[in-house]
Amino acid sequence: MRSLTSLLVSALLFASAVTPTPACKDPIVRKEWRTLSFGQKQSYIAAVKCLQRRPSIATATIPNAINRFDDFQGVHIQRTFQIHFVGHFLAWHRYYVAVYEQALRNECGYNGAQPYWDWTLDSSNLLASPLWDPISGFGGNGATIPPDTSPFAVPGATGGGCICDGPFKDFRLHLGPGASLNATDRCLRRGFSPVIARNFSSAARVGVAMAQADFGYFNKAVEGETNFVNVGIHGGGHYSIGGEAGDLYASPGEPIFFLHHANLDRVYWQWQSKNLPARLHDVSGSVELMGPITGPNVTLAFPIELGPLAPQVTIRDLMDIKGLRSRTGVLCYDYAKSVGE
Ligand SMILES: [Cu+2]
């Protein structure tokens, strides 16, 4: 009689024979925005505009979503309190950006990867960033409106009104601002803050995050706090653009959101890559928004949900951007070096 061990071995061999492990052989490569050719920049922007024309598939849960771009913004608005200041903040946004990238590719014929915005290159001179070019980029600052005098005003903010030029000048948002999912028809606002960029988007700030010894501290260095004393490198990207990008709920209404979050994801991957054997498995942090440190923590088995955008996965599936190396994972992309790296 065959031993139990040999039965198990043959069962496992059989299982792997009938369910071949999908491999990530040819990851798409995400590049820094300014390293793209003019044509590559144009095709990325054209694909985003295509997503903004394609009909929503999420109206069952987001009734006022009109197009596919709205679907992404709506899901972020709905889940804001479940996906920020939690242990799965980076995993959730990693998946979210990857699903957006796939939508651009699968639904809009885009054949590149999601570009990233290395804001350290613009930290000391935000206004000179090539991202704001009206022809080859995303257009510039919002029109100047009376400054926000509330205690929640972004330090050093300028502009604040509708953007005045570039490919998204006439673009309309249909959800937000804030937590609202009511039907609306809004322009894209920006309020550049060079002060925020200088303070929070610097290479030194990235260095602080990179130096953290475990995921919990790394995540804290990235997300910072809910004040302007320390917005973290996450808040740095958001509040230096301001306007829609500075809206905790509705920020994916700013197309640059996805370049900013791709860069955060790149920093996360660089941090993981310093010690992959440990950091492909290291996750911690609260399940609930700013939950008590004694409360439940996320684990690799924690579910990551994007509602109507994509199937539910777990944090484990998202730990490796070149997925499936560890026979689990849903991702298959890589990062090209930034300028001067
Ligand atoms: Cu977010």
Q: What's the confidence (pLDDT) of residue 174?
A: 98
Ligand 1 mean position, distance from CA 16 (Å): 37
Ligand 1 mean position, distance from CA 85 (Å): 10
Q: What's the confidence (pLDDT) of residue 291?
A: 67
DSSP state of 300: T
Cα dist from 6 to 1, 2, 13, 157, whole Å: 10, 6, 10, 68
Supply 207's token pair.
Answer: 């260095």
Three-state DSSP class for residue 161: strand
Ligand 1 mean position, distance from CA 194 (Å): 22
Ligand 1 mean position, distance from CA 251 (Å): 7
Kindly tell me the number of DSSP H helices and DSSP E strands found in the chain.
10, 6
Q: Which helix (DSSP H) or strand (DSSP E) does residue 205 occupy? A: helix 203-210
Ligand 1 mean position, distance from CA 156 (Å): 22
Rounded to 10 degrees, the C-alpha dihedral 48/336/122/136 comes to -40
| Spatial CA neighbour of 321 closest among 260, 258, 270 | 270
Three-state DSSP class for residue 253: helix
> Beta strand 142-144 with 160-163: parallel, antiparallel or unpaired?
antiparallel
Ligand 1 mean position, distance from CA 223 (Å): 10
Distance CA 169, CA 159 (A): 15
Query: Residue 189 pairs with which residues in a beta bridge?
Result: 162
Distance CA 13, CA 187 (A): 57
Largest CA distance in the chain: 85
Ligand 1 mean position, distance from CA 244 (Å): 12
Ligand 1 mean position, distance from CA 11 (Å): 43
What is the reported pTM?
A: 0.92
Ligand 1 mean position, distance from CA 125 (Å): 25
Ligand 1 mean position, distance from CA 232 (Å): 13
Ligand 1 mean position, distance from CA 264 (Å): 11
| Spatial CA neighbour of 157 closest among 165, 167, 173, 146 | 146
Q: What's the confidence (pLDDT) of residue 35?
A: 98
Cβ 31 vs Cβ 113: under 8 Å: yes
Would you write out the chain's pLDDT as a tens digit for each of its 341 residues? 344 444 444 444 444 344 444 678 889 999 999 999 999 999 999 999 999 999 999 999 999 999 999 999 999 999 999 999 999 999 999 999 999 999 999 999 999 999 999 999 999 999 999 999 999 999 999 999 998 888 889 999 999 999 999 999 999 999 999 999 999 999 999 999 999 999 999 999 999 999 999 999 999 999 998 888 899 999 999 999 999 999 999 999 999 999 999 999 999 999 999 999 999 999 999 998 876 767 789 999 999 999 999 999 999 999 999 986 656 679 999 999 999 99
Ligand 1 mean position, distance from CA 177 (Å): 14
Supply 51's token pair.
Answer: 């997503």
Amino acid letter, residue 125:
N
Q: What's the confidence (pLDDT) of residue 331?
A: 95
Put residue 285 in one of left, alpha, beta given phi > 0 → left and psi -120 to 50 → alpha: left
Cβ 193 vs Cβ 155: under 8 Å: yes
Ligand 1 mean position, distance from CA 331 (Å): 19
Ligand 1 mean position, distance from CA 83 (Å): 7
Ligand 1 mean position, distance from CA 84 (Å): 6
